[in-house]
Amino acid sequence: MTQNSHYTKHHPKWHRVRIPIFWWVHKWVHLKFILRELTSVAVAFYAVVLLFQVRALAQGPEAYANFLAWLKMPVAVFVHAIAFLFVIFHSVTWFNLSPKALVVRIGKRRIPDAVIAASNYVAWVIFSAAMAWIILN
Partner 1 sequence: MPTNITLEIFRYRPEDELEPVFQSYEVPFRKDWVILDALNYIKDNLDGSLSYRWSCRMGVCGSCGMMVNGTPVLTCATFLEKYLPGPIRVEPLKNFPVVRDLVIEMSDFMHKLKRVKPWIIREEEKPLSEGEYLQTPTALADYKQYSMCINCMLCYAACPIYGLEPTFTGPAAIALAQRYNFDNRDQGKKQRMEALSQDGGIWECTLVGECSVVCPKDVDPAGAIQRYKVASTTEWWKSLLMPWGSSEERRA
Interaction site with partner 1 (CB under 8 A): 2, 4-8, 11, 13-17, 19, 23-24, 27, 29-30, 33, 37, 97, 100-103, 105, 108
86, 38 Cβ separation under 8 angstroms: yes
Tell me whether residue 6 or residue 72 sits nearer to partner 1 (CB atom).
6
d(CA 98, CA 118): 10
93, 36 Cβ separation under 8 angstroms: yes
100, 86 Cβ separation under 8 angstroms: no
Question: Nearest approach, Cβ of 117 to partner 1 (angstroms)?
Answer: 13
Tell me whether residue 8 or residue 137 sits nearer to partner 1 (CB atom).
8
In the chain, what is the straight-line distance between the N-terminal and C-terminal CA atoms, in Å? 60
Tell me whether residue 53 or residue 119 sits nearer to partner 1 (CB atom).
119
Question: Nearest approach, Cβ of 105 to partner 1 (angstroms)?
Answer: 7
